[in-house]
A and B are shown apart, each in its own frame.
Chain A
C-alpha cells in the first residue's frame, strides 16, 4: 500500500513542501528496488542534491530494508516491513520497521575498512548506513525500528 500526501504547490517556496509516505511490503528482497525508487523520486521532488538522490538515500535505504527482511523478519513472507519517509526543506527522515527483536547498533557495527576485514564479503551494511546518513538510530515500537536522518545541506 502506498500513501502519498503532499502539501503545497509546485510553484510554492520549498519550505512549504512536505512529503510523507508510508509503504508496507512482505519480507521479500525483490521489493527493495521498487521501494527505493519510490523514496528516491520523493527526494528528487523536493530537490535534494543529486548525490543524495543517487547514492546516499538508495544505498542506505537498501541496507536498512535488507537487514529488516533478512535478519529482522528472517525472510518470513507472513511478516511485514514498514517504511515511513518524511521529506521537507531541511531533512529526510526514514523509518524502517520489522517484526524482529532488534539488535545493538554499536555492537553490530564493525569497521570494514580495517585491513583484516577488507576481504570480508559481509559486514558493510550498517557501516554504509552510518557513513551515508547524518544520523542512524534504533528503537523499539511494537517491533524493531531503524531511523535514518539525512540533512539537506550535509
Chain B
C-alpha cells in the first residue's frame, strides 16, 4: 500500500494504492499536509486503485477536508467503486465530500 502524489496543473492529485487503514493513514495525512503547507489549495484524492478503507481512514479524510477548507482550499474525491461508495453512504460522508465518478470530472470541477 502506498500513496503517490503528482501535480496536474495547479491541482495536487493523490492516488491511494491498496488500503487506507489505521496502519498507513498518518502517511497520507502528512503527505497532504506537507503540500498544504507549501501553499497548494486544490486537492484530488483518486481511489481507483484502492481496496478498502476503515474508520480511521475515513477519519483522516474528514480531518484533511477540514484542514484544506480552513486554508481556503478545496478537496475532491474520485473513482470510488461500488463497495467504497456504500461505505461513504453508510456513514453519510457522501454528504460531506464532493465525489466525482471519474478523475477527469473531478479535475474539471475545480
Contact = CB atoms under 8 A, between A and B. Distances in A.
B19 A128 contact: no
B93 to A, nearest CB: 7
B63 interface: yes
B93 A63 contact: no
Contacts of B90: 113, 128, 131-132
B22 A66 contact: yes
A121 B22 CA distance: 12
Q: Which secondary structure dominates where chain B touches chain A?
A: helix
Interface residues of B, number: 29
Contact of B91 (A30, A66, A122, A124): A124
A29 B55 CA distance: 14
Given A29-B23, A33-B21, A128 B55 contact: yes
Interface stretch (A7-15, A53-61, A95-103, A135-143): A53-61
Nearest 3 interchain pairs by C-beta: A124-B55, A121-B59, A55-B83
30 contacts: A29-B23, A33-B19, A33-B21, A51-B83, A54-B51, A54-B52, A54-B83, A55-B84, A55-B87, A58-B51, A59-B53, A63-B55, A70-B22, A112-B91, A113-B90, A118-B92, A118-B93, A119-B66, A120-B59, A120-B62, A121-B63, A124-B55, A124-B58, A124-B91, A125-B55, A125-B56, A127-B55, A127-B91, A128-B55, A128-B87
